[in-house]
């Protein structure tokens, strides 16, 4: 059926190539003229294009000439000349579409074409990669092209930011030609390379500042996303989260942990182990009010106590050591209670230890109080966003 449809409708890739064929021919026709330009004349093309944009021409009007200029700059600086099919790939990306390219087909080079074109507007253009290594590597590799055309290149890393500078003598060859700069300056560059996570976290932090002058990102105008299926589909529901310590009393966790042994199961409370739900009985409410020396457990002023109490009951009766969690110190499971140990969750499906994961809404702290280990403060979400 697929072959039949292809014969009737034609191959989608072939249709795309045909759509842009005339433009490719126009770019090729400009090649002799572009090759005849001196380095300074080639660089001056960027200023010319920007002047023409200011006079009312569009990016589409400039595309053939701009692509021809990038092709020539690539040939002169890094010894790579974009093929016709790569020119088509650049046009596909410029139009905001997805282009599928296999490893080794030159997608890093292809991206320089629409990045340069869109950077001419002066509103910034971003190249989004999946890790810091690729962001750094690609900026160093393609940096000479942009530099030859008078464009600045910024690089965002996890705890640093750089600008491509071929004159900078880096002591570490891994950072060859990368001059350390402020994060805000890296975003102010004509073209900025970085990861989806770093761009996302910087966006969240910018929306938390009290003074607009403290924002680091500028306009979010144009971006090319590498591995777009992974970022926008596979990781679409994995949120970026900025968290901070919650204002809470660790003393209440310990107080409730000491109180639980004095509360009677099936008398003062009932327990649904399957759903890990706790329900206090009338008798239990009265007993707890007596033990806590309060008049009304459900008075608004005492609501916080019910939260701590329910977590303490769940920790005691529905979460069991060596089944749902283990005590770990220095990376090793310990048997006895050790004040310096930490609670590590056990994956119920695989049995693996889930280091770094914590139960939410105070439950992890309640288990820490139950096991008499150090209670680590709960983290609350300050900002979150998905891709």
Q: What is the pLDDT of residues 228-244, one digit of tens each?
A: 998 899 888 788 888 77
Same domain, 55 and 200: yes
The answer to whether residue 125 scores a pLDDT higher than 70 is yes
Using CA atoms, how far residue 263 sits from 133, 272, 285, 293, 368, in Å, is: 56, 16, 10, 15, 19
Region 171-187 average pLDDT: 95
User: What string of DSSP letters covers 107-131?
Assistant: HHHHHHHHHHHHHTTSS-EEEEESS
74 backbone dihedrals φ, ψ, rounded to 5°: -65, -40
User: What Rg, from alpha-carbon coordinates, does the chain have?
Assistant: 30
**Does 206 share its domain with 315?**
no
User: Could you tell me if 296 and 157 lie in one domain?
Assistant: no
- Supply the pLDDT for residue 290: 94
Q: Could you report the per-residue pLDDT of 33-63, keeping only the tens digit for each? A: 999 999 999 999 999 999 999 999 999 999 9
With a cut of 80, say whether residue 12 has pLDDT above it.
Answer: no
In the chain, how many domains are there?
2
> pTM for the whole thing?
0.71
Nearest CA-CA partner of 380 in 241, 276, 258? 241
Q: Tell how far CA 310 is from the center of its chain.
A: 35
Instruction: State the pLDDT confidence band at 80, using cuts at 50, 70 and 90.
Output: very high
- pLDDT per residue over 154-171, tens digit each? 999 998 999 999 999 888
Strands 379-385 and 325-329: unpaired
Confirm if 263 and 222 have CB atoms less than 8 A apart. Answer: no
Residue 4, pLDDT above cutoff 50: no
User: Which residue do the tokens 């001056």 mark?
Assistant: 44
**Residues 224 and 303 occupy one common structural domain:** no
CATH of the domain at 88: 3.40.50.300
Q: Are the beta carbons of 147 and 73 closer than 8 angstroms? A: no
- Predicted confidence (pLDDT) at residue 208 exceeds the cutoff of 70: yes
- Calculate the alpha carbon distances from 102 to 99, 195, 226, 227 in Å: 10, 20, 12, 11
Tell me which of 194, 217, 243 is where a domain ends: 243
Structure tokens at 272: 């649904």
Q: Which residues contact 33 (CB under 8 A, 6 or more apart)?
A: none
Longest dimension (CA), the chain: 94
Comparing 190 with 352, the larger pLDDT belongs to 190
DSSP state of 300: G
pLDDT of residue 357: 82
Looking at the fold, whether 23 and 170 belong to one and the same domain comes out as yes
Contact by Cβ (8 Å): 162, 198: no
| Between 245 and 311, residue with greater pLDDT | 311
pLDDT at 9: 41
Q: What is the pLDDT of residue 11?
A: 58
Pair (204, 282) in one structural domain: no
Do residues 101 and 201 make contact, with C-beta atoms less than 8 angstroms apart?
no
At 162, give phi and psi (nearest 5°). -140, 165
Q: Which helix (H) or strand (E) holds 190?
A: none
Q: How many CB atoms lie within 10 A of CB 100?
A: 11
Judge if 204 and 254 occupy the same domain. Answer: no
pLDDT over 60 at 178, yes or no = yes
CB-based contact 207:385 (threshold 8 Å): no
- Residues 135 and 129 sit within 8 Å (Cβ to Cβ): yes
CATH number of the structural domain spanning residue 279: 3.90.1440.10
Q: How far apart are CA 336 and CA 198, in angstroms?
A: 41
For residue 336, the enclosing domain spans 250-385
Share of the chain above pLDDT 70, in %: 96
- Co-location of 275 and 213 in the same domain: no
| Between 17 and 78, the higher pLDDT residue | 78
Collapsing DSSP to helix, strand or coil, 354 comes out as strand
Asked if residue 211 and residue 258 are part of one domain, the reply reads no
Cβ atoms of 307 and 362 within 8 Å: the answer is: yes
Same domain, 187 and 271: no
pLDDT in tens, 271-330: 888 888 899 999 999 999 999 999 999 898 888 899 899 999 999 999 999 999 999 998
Same domain, 210 and 272: no
Count of alpha carbons within 13 Å of 297, Cβ hemisphere only?
19
Residues 51 and 132 occupy one common structural domain: yes
Average pLDDT over residues 11-40: 89
Strand partners, 222: 125
151 backbone dihedrals φ, ψ, rounded to 5°: -100, 145
Last residue of a domain, one of 225, 243, 261: 243
* Boundary (domain end) residue, out of 243, 259, 276: 243
């Amino acid at each position: 059926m697929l072959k039949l449809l292809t014969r009737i409708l034609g191959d989608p890739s072939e249709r795309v190539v045909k759509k842009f064929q005339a433009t490719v021919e126009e770019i090729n026709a400009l090649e002799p003229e572009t090759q005849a330009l001196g380095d300074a004349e080639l660089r001056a093309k960027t200023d010319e294009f920007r002047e023409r944009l200011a006079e009312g021409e569009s990016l589409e009007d400039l595309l053939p000439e701009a692509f021809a200029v990038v092709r020539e700059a690539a040939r002169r600086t890094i010894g790579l000349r974009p093929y016709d099919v790569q020119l088509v790939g650049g046009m596909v990306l410029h139009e905001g579409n997805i282009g599928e390219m296999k490893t080794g087909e030159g997608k890093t080079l292809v991206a320089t074409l629409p990045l340069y074109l869109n950077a001419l507007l002066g509103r910034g253009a971003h190249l989004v990669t999946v890790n810091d290594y690729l962001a750094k590597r690609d900026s160093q590799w393609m940096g000479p092209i942009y530099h030859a055309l008078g464009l600045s290149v910024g690089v965002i890393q996890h705890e640093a930011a750089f600008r491509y500078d071929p004159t900078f003598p880096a002591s570490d060859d891994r950072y060859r030609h990368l001059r350390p700069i402020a994060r805000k300056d890296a975003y102010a560059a004509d073209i900025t390379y970085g990861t989806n996570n770093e761009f996302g976290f910087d966006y969240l932090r910018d929306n938390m500042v009290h003074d607009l002058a403290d924002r680091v990102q500028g306009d979010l105008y144009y971006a090319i996303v590498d591995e777009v299926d992974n970022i926008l589909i596979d990781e679409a529901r994995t949120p970026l989260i900025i968290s901070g310590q919650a204002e809470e009393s660790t003393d209440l966790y310990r107080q409730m942990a000491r109180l639980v042994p004095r509360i009677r199961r099936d008398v003062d409370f009932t327990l649904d182990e399957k759903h890990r739900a706790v329900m206090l009985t009338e008798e239990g409410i009265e007993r707890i009010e007596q033990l806590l020396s309060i008049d009304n457990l459900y008075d608004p002023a005492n609501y916080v106590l019910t939260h701590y109490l329910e977590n303490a009951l769940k920790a005691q009766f529905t979460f069991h050591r060596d089944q749902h969690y283990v005590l770990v110190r220095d990376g090793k499971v310990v048997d006895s209670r050790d004040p310096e140990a930490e609670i590590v969750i056990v994956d119920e499906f695989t049995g693996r230890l889930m280091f770094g994961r914590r139960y939410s809404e105070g439950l992890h702290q309640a288990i820490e109080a139950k096991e008499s280990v150090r209670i680590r403060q709960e983290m609350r979400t300050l900002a979150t966003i998905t891709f």
